[in-house]
Amino acid sequence: MCALARHSDTRLGYAVHHFEPPLQLEFSGTPEIDAGRDHVWSRLINIEFVASCVTDVDEVHAIDHTHFKILTAVRFGIIRFPFRVNVELHDVVPYNTSMTANATAPAARVIVNTSIRLEAIRETRTKLHWEAVTELQGAIAKIGARLLEKEGRETIDEFWREFADRTAAS
């Protein structure tokens, strides 16, 4: 089954498939973490550590140091979407990186492009600047932009709080 939402138009006597444009959401933030920049960076590029901060991760498989496969689920209200996620890190240089996550589920696709930059505030405090552009296609996009944005923001905020707390504690 195609991961893109489509509908058929048979007015011409044959089926013509129209693909709906993706729903695009943008998120950003600048959480501060009670740890030095080197320590935050070491945690940020450790996929097992990052995955441990995410709710509903079932499996993480490293292909190499910049490519990963993740089995997870995303919740929007009472609806749970199981996803297979391919993650690729780009332009990995100390304290800066970007990432693309391509997630697929039955009748749904999510693509997330994220950039991250670490700023040392003090020797023991770091500000993490991040921006993400998310494209949703298929059944997940039909839930509605307001609900998706609200639930997405709550999930992302929960992740960064958990990441900051675990990083500061380790």
In a domain, 3, yes or no: no
Write the pLDDT tens digit of every residue in 39-92.
999 999 998 899 888 888 889 999 998 999 999 887 766 777 788 999 999 999
Task: Look at the chain and report how many structural domains it folds into.
Answer: 1
**Structure-model confidence comparison of residues 129 and 3, the more confident one:** 129
In a domain, 148, yes or no: yes
Write the pLDDT tens digit of every residue in 124-167.
999 999 999 988 888 777 766 667 777 778 888 888 889 999 99
Containing structural domain, residue 110? 22-169
Label residue 12 by pLDDT band (50, 70, 90). very low
In a domain, 9, yes or no: no
Give CA 34 to chain center in angstroms: 23
SS (H, E, C) 85-138: EEEEEEEEECCEEEEEEEEEECCEEEEEEEEEEEEEEECCEEEEEEEEEEEEEE
CATH number at residue 76: 3.30.530.20
pLDDT of the residue at 20: 66
